[in-house]
Amino acid sequence: MSSKRTIHAVETHSGEPMRVITGGVPHVPGETVYQQMKWLESNDDQLRKMMLREPRGYPPMCCNLIVPPKHPDAAAGFIIMEHVEYPVMSGGNTISVATVLLETGMIPMQEPVTEFVLEAPAGLIGIRAECRNGKVTAVRFENVAAFCAIQDAVIDVPHLGEVAVDVGWGGMFYVIADASQFPTLRLVPEDGREITRISALILGAAQQQLQVSHPDYPGIGITVAQLSGPTGNPAADRRNAVLMPSGPVDLDNPASWTGGIDRCPCGTGTCAKMAVLHAKGQLPLHTPFRHESILGGIYTGELVRETRVGDTPAVIPTISGQAWITGYTTWVLDPTDPHPDGFVVGDLWATG
């Protein structure tokens, strides 16, 4: 059979399913990985749609494309793809990409620790991977600068009323609300449908009512919502549920009040939360912050130094976590396939 596209990938999870494309994509132009990401977005967005939509993907999934590094200090580059955006950085995906590179031999593994640099669209990310018996048992990376963009705002959310929120940048802009504002809501898998409804409404209202900006990424706004709550786990400090929308949120259309809850503890979301806590004087430097996912997985973050992003005080965070390889796949696109970009159906997806 002659295929229009043939894509080779490694399937991983860190709670969240994260696909890593290792072959089948031709040269992506650009002088930096950020420029390559923008080229892909403008010239080959079919790759993202094909890999993340049905029949090859589903709402709670991310995808990464490994590319040759552009910076001389980097061992590899990677481009992150999600359902509504190309994030410049993602923590869970960084952990998965590092794991794939080492466990497949694309980067030589040194036990007990392998150190190297990845080039994300956001810049260089230092990796320290703990390795044993050919397996990556933990990945720690130093993230880009995180900061609190908006503190203690109150927004008017349809069907919910007034909701107090913060906005933090950890590689994406997160609107963060304390789940205690919704007394009957639990951050557990069984309440997933209500978590997505509430989170989507908060996200849509925040996008309309709050203005944010990043000096390096003009035009990027709030794209993710995070609910934060206490945990009964003595090994964790907070529990979170992050909603990754699978389409634009329309506050007048209940069919769009959905998406995929991040199954991992969310690396950039953890960084955004730590930056907000630091801005409020609640999280000092060099203090481990153990963030628990809706499934009980934990990423451990730490703020290692202060810095600035433009005129805004910021912090440099680290994140540590683990990912697991679940399979090796070859995906094809038949030239007669009536859905070359994949498809979405309103039973699972946000539809506008």
- Do residues 21 and 160 share a domain? no
Same domain, residue pair 263 and 296: yes
Please give the tally of structural domains in the chain. 2
**220 & 256 share domain:** yes
Is residue 64 predicted with pLDDT exceeding 90? Answer: yes
Share of the chain above pLDDT 90, in %: 95
Note whether 118 and 83 are same-domain residues. yes
Active-site residue identified among 62, 148, 266, 271: 266
**For the chain, what is the mean pLDDT?**
96
Read off the pLDDT band of 165 (50, 70, 90): very high
d(CA 80, CA 64): 5
126 and 168, same domain (yes or no): no
**β-strand 135-142 against 123-132: which pairing, if any?**
antiparallel
What is the pLDDT averaged over residues 93-107?
Answer: 98
Q: What secondary structure letter does DSSP report for 12?
A: E
CA angle centred on 58, ends 253 and 296, rounded to 5°: 95
* Same domain as 160, residue 95: no
**Which CATH number do you get for residue 94?**
3.10.310.10
DSSP for residue 146: B
CB 46 within 8 A of CB 342: no
For residue 159, what are the domain limits? 147-316
Q: Are residues 163 and 118 in the same domain?
A: no
Q: What is the pLDDT of residue 3?
A: 82
- Element containing residue 34 per DSSP (H, E): helix 33-43
The verdict on whether 96 is a catalytic residue reads no
- The DSSP result for 95-110, as a single string, is HHHHHHHHHTTSS---
Assess whether 18 and 155 both reside in one domain: no
- Assess if residue 349 is contained within a domain: no
% of the chain residues with pLDDT over 70:
99
Write out 225-264 in H/E/C secondary structure: EEEEECCCCCCCCEEEEEEECCCCCCCCCHHHCCCEECCC
76 and 174 fall within a common domain? no
> What is the pTM assigned to this prediction?
0.96
Residue 2, pLDDT score:
75
Query: With 80 as the cut, is the pLDDT of residue 1 above it?
Result: no
Does 352 have pLDDT greater than 70?
no
Residue 23 lies in a domain: yes
Q: Which of 14, 62, 63, 90 is catalytic?
A: 90
Same domain, yes or no, for 170 and 274? yes
Domain match, 21 and 151 both: no
Q: How far apart are CA 201 and CA 252, in angstroms?
A: 10
Which pLDDT belongs to residue 350?
Answer: 84
Query: Per-residue pLDDT tens for 199-253?
Result: 999 999 999 999 999 999 999 999 999 999 999 999 999 999 999 999 999 999 9
Bridge partners of 308, per DSSP, are 313
Residues 16-46: pLDDT tens digits?
A: 999 999 999 989 999 999 999 999 999 999 9
Residue 20 belongs to some domain of the structure: yes
How far is Cα 158 from Cα 306, in angstroms, rounded to an integer? 37
266 is a catalytic site residue: yes
